[in-house]
Chains A and B, each alone.
Chain A
Amino acid sequence: MRSTRFWLGVVVPVAWVVISVAAFGATWSRLPDPLATHWGMSGAPNGAMPRITAFALFGGASLLAAIAARVAMSRDHGIAQLVGGATFTGLLFASFGVVTVLVNLDAASWQDAHRVGVPLALACTALAGFGGALATRLARALEPARVAVTSRPSIGLGATERAVWSASTKNGALLFVAFLVAVAGVVTWSTGGSWYGVAGCLVSALLVTALAEVHARVDDRALSLGFGPLGFPRMRVALDRIVHAEITTVHPMSHGGWGYRGSLTILGRAAVVVRGGEGLKLELRDNKTLTITIDDAATAAGLINDLVARRR
């Protein structure tokens, strides 16, 4: 597996850094200064940056992504998510850098740069997304094999007993971030900023709020999750889908950060990460896993295992 590490951690990252740097380096004297770096919804350039700043931004971001990819390879856990994210970021900045250079080439001033439409921006994002997903998939083989389950927690639920378990977990820091983003939205609005800037801030604030809090309940039918202070949106995992439950320690970075990470349908692996630490890990049918950071995970895992055993 040394070659996979070498490719994903060295060859590919070096390639995107070289592309970003070379795109600017090879065309330096043919670029206007400042050069166009932002385009409106209509495709016309509407923002510019000094040439050296643009170079530092694209080169620097590519380099940081490359370092992240290299670091991912020296870790034991969360290699796939981290290298996937790094590859996505690296390819995104490299492709945006190349596009920026090409449309500015030989323009008299930044206003004369070629138009960049939404499709081109989407194509770059799709390319980066594809690269990131591929890197994630390849790197998964580097992850340590899943250790066989040695303990199956139980709460010793009797045949005539009925039980329900519920718990909530909050992340104050994330709530504060959501608050700051909302404030940024209000400031944007009051200073006459663009409407999509305001809407973007408010939507982000709502999303972060929803992911800063999770409520969980286990009864004899399902594990139900509710996000945010209102417990909405909801998610339900029927007990029939659960093979067994165990306790785990969650490292947010090994899941690629906070929030709802991964996808059960596409990747077969998802995690609800509100904070680091104690968590509940569910082994689902079809080899899927769902991890949830929650307090009192031992009781939840015990109850789930007892209820699942009863259904068989």
Chain B
Amino acid sequence: MLIRIDAAAISDLHEQIAAQVRRAISDGKVTPGEQLPPARELAASLDVNMHTVLRAYAALRDEGLVEMRRGRGVTIASAGTSRSRVVELARELIAEARRHGMPLKELKKLLEELS
């Protein structure tokens, strides 16, 4: 799995890290059960604060893409592969709606109507 971040980019570093992991999951570069590098190690390799990496991992956990267990590190969730594609698209959708000034409430309503 390749994680590349750009300090000169507009988006936050933790968002960039999460996006890279998400992409690796949906591309099948990492498989369910596989461990992500420990936060401390990844932070040292990327020369970022450890909390930046932890924040990225926490976001991925909240999206149901990874599991965090004490002593076992961070592993790709079993439903991660199929879920990551949906999460990726949902994020795109939200960003697009925001660009066009559509409030989140209206977007939710739209999704409910369509489904």
Interface string of B40-72 (1 = CB under 8 A from A): 011011111000000000000000000000000
Q: Among B4-12, B77-85, B90-98, B105-113, which stretch is in contact with chain A?
A: B4-12
Residues of A within 8 A of B41 (CB): 217
Residues of B within 8 A of A155 (CB): 2, 4
Distance from B85 Cβ to chain A, minimum over Cβ atoms (Å): 20
Within 8 A of B (CB), among A130-148: none
Residues of B within 8 A of A167 (CB): 1
Residues of B within 8 A of A162 (CB): 4-7, 46-48
- Check B104 for interface membership: any CB of A closer than 8 A: no
Within 8 A of B (CB), among A266-312: 296, 299, 303
B45→A217 contact, CB < 8 A: yes
- Check B88 for interface membership: any CB of A closer than 8 A: no
Residues of A within 8 A of B46 (CB): 162-164, 219
Distance from B97 Cβ to chain A, minimum over Cβ atoms (Å): 29
Number of A-B residue pairs with CB-CB distance less than 8 Å in the complex they form:
51
Partner of A164, one of B3, B8, B34: B3
- Check B103 for interface membership: any CB of A closer than 8 A: no
A163 to B34 CA separation, bound complex (whole angstroms): 20
Chain B contact-residue range equals: 10 to 19
A161 to B42 CA separation, bound complex (whole angstroms): 15
Partner of B2, one of A160, A168, A220, A299: A299
B3→A163 contact, CB < 8 A: yes
Interface centre among A157, A161, A299, by most chain B C-beta atoms within 10 angstroms, is A161
A167 to B41 CA separation, bound complex (whole angstroms): 14
Residues of B within 8 A of A157 (CB): 4
A303 to B45 CA separation, bound complex (whole angstroms): 13
Residues of A within 8 A of B34 (CB): 168
A161→B47 contact, CB < 8 A: no
B6→A160 contact, CB < 8 A: yes
Residues of A within 8 A of B1 (CB): 165-167, 296
Chain A contact-residue range equals: 10 to 19
Interface string of A151-185 (1 = CB under 8 A from B): 00001011011111111100000000000000000
A155 to B47 CA separation, bound complex (whole angstroms): 19
Residues of A within 8 A of B29 (CB): 296
B47→A220 contact, CB < 8 A: yes
Residues of A within 8 A of B44 (CB): 219
Interface string of A184-226 (1 = CB under 8 A from B): 0000000000000000000000000000000001011000000
Distance from A308 Cβ to chain B, minimum over Cβ atoms (Å): 16
A161→B45 contact, CB < 8 A: no
Name the CB-closest residue of A to B43: A164
Partner of A303, one of B2, B8, B42: B2
Distance from A217 Cβ to chain B, minimum over Cβ atoms (Å): 7
Which 4 pairs from chain A and chain B are nearest by CB?
A: A219-B45, A163-B4, A160-B8, A164-B45
Q: A160-B6, A162-B6, A164-B37 are in contact. List 18 more A-B contacts (CB 8 A).
A: A157-B4, A160-B7, A161-B6, A162-B47, A163-B46, A164-B3, A164-B45, A164-B46, A165-B1, A166-B37, A217-B37, A217-B45, A219-B44, A219-B45, A219-B46, A220-B47, A296-B1, A303-B2
Q: List 6 A-B contacts (CB under 8 A).
A: A158-B6, A162-B4, A164-B46, A165-B1, A165-B2, A219-B45
